[in-house]
Amino acid sequence: MKKLIEMNLLKAMDYSQYNLLFKQLVEEGRTTGEQTPEKINYTKLNFSRTKRLDKTAEISVNNIEAFKSVSEKQTWLVISEPWCGDASQTLPFLNKIAQFSKNIDLKIVLRDENLPLMDSFLTNGSRSIPVIIMLDEDLNVLQTFGPRSKAATKLINDYINQHGKIDDVLKEMLQTWYNKDKGVSIVNELSKMVGSLKDTL
């Protein structure tokens, strides 16, 4: 596992590099991986969401203090893709967190180019993203988070249990939920994770 993580970190992007790739894809009318009209359209849409959240995302004072108090060096390795809606709602907040903490280093790799890593961090057997892999200085896995907060996961599971599928109605419901939540659920969960790590390290 450590060897696999090492290999992925060597080719990982920081947030600015990831956004440059994002911008280039949108300008060229492309996406990463499979070039379907749907994924190309999602990439364009997600780039707009990411740019908006980069400007508007806020983190509470208490949570800022929690992230600032991380005393041991950590790398947060995120498995993502520009076409992924959940990733576009998560990465801007991860970037803000890393800016507040001098001990959190944010790195990003693409899922479809790194399937051995992805397949080591499946969610209920699926390649759901984004996945955040929290690593210590020796590249030991401390914790993982993703692809969504518990509240967003419940919304999706409840809908699937009732309707038996993921459809456009659910996607619109999820987007509305993200707009109302404003990243609070993601940040709160990550703050708690960081706090629990501090107690065990």
pLDDT given for residue 200 in this prediction: 61
pLDDT given for residue 197 in this prediction: 78
Number of domains present in the structure of the chain: 1
Give pLDDT < 50 ranges for the chain.
Answer: none
Give me Rg for the CA atoms of the chain: 16
Residue 164 has which token pair? 């038996």
Domain of 55, in residue numbers:
2-200
Q: To which residue do tokens 């984004």 refer?
A: 130
**CA-based end-to-end distance of the chain:** 21
Q: What are the φ and ψ backbone dihedral angles of 11, each rounded to 5 degrees? A: -110, 10
| Relative orientation angle of helices 184-200 and 85-100, to the nearest 10 degrees | 50
List all residues 6 or more positions away from 160 whose beta carbon is below 8 Å from its beta carbon: 166, 170
Can you list the positions of beta strands (E) in 81-172?
A: 104-110, 131-135, 141-145
Instruction: Provide the residue type at 171 as one letter.
Output: K
**CATH code (residue 164):** 3.40.30.10
Which pTM value belongs to this model? 0.95
Q: What is the dihedral of CA 130, 191, 150, 53, to 10 degrees?
A: -50
Alpha-carbon gap, residue 21 to 56, rounded angstroms: 21
pLDDT given for residue 20 in this prediction: 98
* Angle ∠(53,22,175) on CA atoms, nearest 5: 40
